[in-house]
Structures are given as C-alpha cells and as structure tokens.
Amino acid sequence: MKIACLAGDGIGPEIMAEARRVLDALALENVEIFEGDVGGTGYKKHGHPLPPETLEMCKAADAVLFGAVGDPDCDNLERHLRPEQAILGLRQALTLFANLRPATMFPGLEDMTALRPEVARTIDLLIVRELNGDVYFGEKAIRTLDDGRRQGFDLMSYAEDEVRRIAHVAFRAAQGRKKKLCSVDKANVLETSQLWRDVVIEVAAEYPDVALSHMYVDNAAMQLVRDPGQFDVVVTGNLFGDILSDQASMCVGSIGLLASASLGETQTEYGTKGLYEPIHGSAPDIAGQGKANPMAMILSLAMMLRHSFGLEGQAARIETAVSRTLADGIKGADLGGSASTVEVGDAVLARL
C-alpha cells in the first residue's frame, strides 16, 4: 500500500505528523510511505509548487495524503508558481474529479457553532463537488482590449460526460445514505448550469430509488443556514462546491474538523485511488505554534483507509476515536479549548 504524504506549507507538517502517528499506531502491514514537497515548500526547494518528482511519486502511489498549501511569501509569484497550483495540478493530473466533503455534527460540539444547537444538531450531509472542470480550468487571462482597457476573463464550462460521471458518484452516494440528492446550480442565469441540470435529470433515470431535487445556488447558501438538516447528499460544480462546502463546515463548528476525499476512476489492487486532505488551508498565522487542530487531517487519513484501501474497520476506529476525544471535551484553540496539536493527537491515539 503505497502512500504519498505531502505535508505542504504552514500548519501542514504539524497536522501531518499527528496523522502519521495515528497511521503508525494501527500497525498495518505492507504500508510504504513516500514523502514529497509541495506548495510554497515545493517552490522554495525545487522551484515549482508541484515538483516533477512529487507528481511522479503521486502517480505511482495508491493514495495521496495531503496536508495544506498556501504561503504568503508566494503571494506575488506568477499564478502558475503559487502554492495553490499544487493542489489544482494534482486534481487535474490524477483526474480526481469527485470531491467528497462530509459534514456531520459531532456530539458535544453543538455549542461551538454559530448556529443554534437545535439547528446544528440536524446536520448530516455530504457535498459531492466536481473537481476537474468549471471556471477553474477553462481558458483564462488578463488581456488588454482593443480600446486599451484591461480585462480579466475565465471561461466556465461543463461537457455532458463531465457532469454525468460526477452525477453517478452522487447518486451512488445517496443510495448508501438517505436516498436524497439535491443538485445545486444557477440554471436561471448560466447555460453551464442548464446543461448540468439536463444531464443530472438524464442520469436520474438510472436511480429511481433516489429522490432528486434542484436548487439555485443562492437559495442553497440560504437554506444551508436556515435548515441544513434538510440536506442529505448535495451535488454541485467546482465553484459552487468550493463555496458551499466551506460554508457547511462552519455550520459544524470548525473547519478544523472536516476531511475530504478526491477520487477518480483509477482502481488499484486495494480500492479507488484518491487524494485526502482537510478542507482547511495552511493557516500561516498559527503555523509552528502547536495550535492547529489535527482532526481534519486525521479524519482524512480515515477516509483514505476507507476509500483507497477498503479498510472500513480501521477507518471507523479512527473516526470513533476522534468523536470520543471531542465528546470528552478535548478541544484545540479553534474550538475554544486549550489542547495543543500534539495533545489532541495524543488524545486520539489513547482512544484508538
């Protein structure tokens, strides 16, 4: 089981260290770890946020465990050299088109969110975000128009096969949950969304057991505050998924708790090849201070064991340990507590 570990920038190395301790504690046989540089770290050491040796390592691996990228030192670099390009580049190079972002309320945290406890308690949703298309990867530039004005542009688009494959992922996920799927778009304004909606409806014919609904993204952002409990699985494009999944994370109490899986179609001998990362960023403001919450990273490890290695039992074991840690009141600064990164790691290890 080849695992590429890319710690990245900011708090990346600290939280990755905790996830690695948890992985070690499972004492799985047959695990091979490879470490690579990415993001600002990749740029500083090798001149590129996604150095060729890191990319090759990820191609050869069965799964990628990814920390976080983002480094203020790199803010003024040309776009293709900025840290974020590492994650965008990996998603594209490995054709990781399906981003799974579960958001579930942890018992004991109802008091940590900005939502009322009775609203927060109902949250149990999965956002399925398309990750290889949309306005992220279309033609884009800042150009000078004939009249001398500068203009920035980005082409938003989806082709039917891109929508179809993510729709299948979402319908299958819904079949394994409460069989409710809400597709989010802006079909009253965008042709990209109109095609998205048309194709999702076509695919729905193959999943008669799943109840499909459609919602405009502005309404979805509102409903996620008003009544997040109404959602089971949400499927949406790359840009809307970026916004809504961050919003949903805060409804759960802290972005330091949310893990994600990015999957493609590659099957290894163990499961589906994928990349696993917390949905939070590199938090340069608290890097190196032992303040970061490693839980999202540890939960990303659990998702990796589940999806890429078929180790459901081990995944559940980690998730239970994290849940118990929270229920026991052990919280980092992001949750108003005082436990350090390592102390949270210790607590999870003790409950494994």
Ligand X SMILES: CC(C)[C@H](C(=O)O)[C@@H](O)C(=O)O
Q: Which does 251 bind (CB under 5 to 8 A by kind): ligand X, its own copies, none?
A: its own copies
Q: Which does 342 bind (CB under 5 to 8 A by kind): its own copies, ligand X, none?
A: none
**Selected binder of its own copies within 175, 194, 230, 320 (CB under 8 A):** 194
- The reply on whether position 247 binds its own copies by CB under 8 A is yes
204 is in an annotated binding site: no
Binding site for ligand X (CB under 6 A): 84, 87-88, 188-189, 218, 242
Long-range CB pairs of 216-223, under 8 A, 24+ apart, other chains included = 216/184, 216/185, 216/186, 216/187, 216/188, 217/184, 217/185, 217/186, 217/243, 217/244, 218/186, 220/182, 220/184, 220/244, 221/247
Kindly state the number of chain residues that form the binding site for its own copies, as judged by CB under 8 A.
61
What's the distance, CA 215 to chain centroid?
A: 22
Active-site option among 43, 242, 276, 334: 242
Tell me the CA distances in angstroms from 59 to 33, 36, 92, 100, 236, one per residue in order: 14, 12, 12, 20, 27
Please name which of 9, 13, 15, 7 lies closest in space to residue 293, comparing C-alpha atoms: 15
Please name which of 19, 107, 29 lies closest in space to residue 329, comparing C-alpha atoms: 107
Please name which of 327, 165, 161 lies closest in space to residue 235, comparing C-alpha atoms: 165
- The reply on whether position 316 binds its own copies by CB under 8 A is no
292 is in an annotated binding site: yes
Measured CA to CA, the distance from residue 294 to residue 321 in angstroms comes to: 13
User: Does residue 186 carry a catalytic annotation?
Assistant: yes
| Least spacing, CB of residue 352 vs its own copies, in Å | 30
| Least spacing, CB of residue 266 vs its own copies, in Å | 22
Pick the closer one to ligand X by CB: 119 or 297. Answer: 297
Number of Cβ within a 10 Å radius of residue 76: 8
User: Does residue 75 carry a catalytic annotation?
Assistant: no
Please name which of 280, 348, 243, 323 lies closest in space to residue 11, comparing C-alpha atoms: 280
Q: Which does 175 bind (CB under 5 to 8 A by kind): ligand X, its own copies, none?
A: none
User: Does residue 9 carry a catalytic annotation?
Assistant: no
Active-site option among 43, 136, 158, 276: 136
User: What letter represents residue 6's amino acid?
Assistant: L
Binding mask 226-245 for its own copies (x = CB under 8 A): xx-----------xx-xxxx
246 is in an annotated binding site: yes
Residue ranges of the binding site for NAD(+)? 281-293
> What amino acid positions are annotated as catalytic residues?
136, 186, 218, 242, 246
Return residues touching its own copies (CB under 8 A): 79, 82, 84, 88, 114-116, 119, 135-136, 138, 140-142, 145, 149-161, 186, 188-196, 199, 217-219, 221-227, 239-240, 242-247, 249-251, 255
